[in-house]
Amino acid sequence: MDRDHVIQELQFKAVRSSGAGGQHVNKVATKVELAFDVAESAALSEAEKERIFDKLANRINKDHVLQLQCDDSRSQSKNKALAIERFLELLEKALKRKKKRRKTKPSRSSIEKRLKSKKNQALKKANRGKPRID
């Protein structure tokens, strides 16, 4: 994945933020909506697109567009930067391959050590009882 090419393919739309905030919120379009067309991207290989479709299926709409929005800040430029940052983190996380787990076997000494400690614990508990008088 080439970050610069991916960023060039992003589309932004500024809209009015929702929620409390008074006059400022009602006048200024600070919320940024980011859209990325995964299917039409030239910056991603087919394998990368497949991984993104699999991992981010719940975030991609029927038109194959991944959408994010950010309205954390009162500044449109800060919101745009935050949206890009979150988008890149999301893509990298989706494209990262999980490490395959290798089966391991406990060593002979660790098995013996475990059994020895179990024996000692059993003896300790057995010696706690009342002594038998024969």
Q: At 91, is the pLDDT very low, low, confident or very high (cuts 50, 70, 90)?
A: very high
Backbone φ, ψ for residue 80 (5° rounding): -65, -45
Backbone φ, ψ for residue 48 (5° rounding): -65, -40
pLDDT score recorded for residue 2:
78
pLDDT score recorded for residue 12:
94
Look over the chain and give the mean of its residue pLDDT values, rounded to a whole number.
90
Q: At 25, is the pLDDT very low, low, confident or very high (cuts 50, 70, 90)?
A: confident
For each of the domains in the chain, give its residue range(s) and CATH number, in order of start.
3-95 (3.30.160.20)
Q: What is the pTM of this model?
A: 0.70
- Displacement of CA 112 from its chain's centroid (Å): 41
Q: At 47, is the pLDDT very low, low, confident or very high (cuts 50, 70, 90)?
A: very high
What are 94-127's pLDDT values in tens digits? 999 889 999 999 999 999 999 999 999 999 998 8
Task: Bin 35: left if φ > 0, else alpha if -120 < ψ < 50, else beta.
Answer: beta
CB 9 within 8 A of CB 42: yes
pLDDT score recorded for residue 131:
77
Backbone φ, ψ for residue 69 (5° rounding): -135, 150
In order, the DSSP letters of the chain are --HHHHHHT-EEEEEPPPSS-THHHHH---EEEEEEESTT-SSS-HHHHHHHHHHTGGGB-TTSEEEEEE-SSS-HHHHHHHHHHHHHHHHHHHHPPPPPPPP----HHHHHHHHHHHHHHHHHHHTTSPPP--
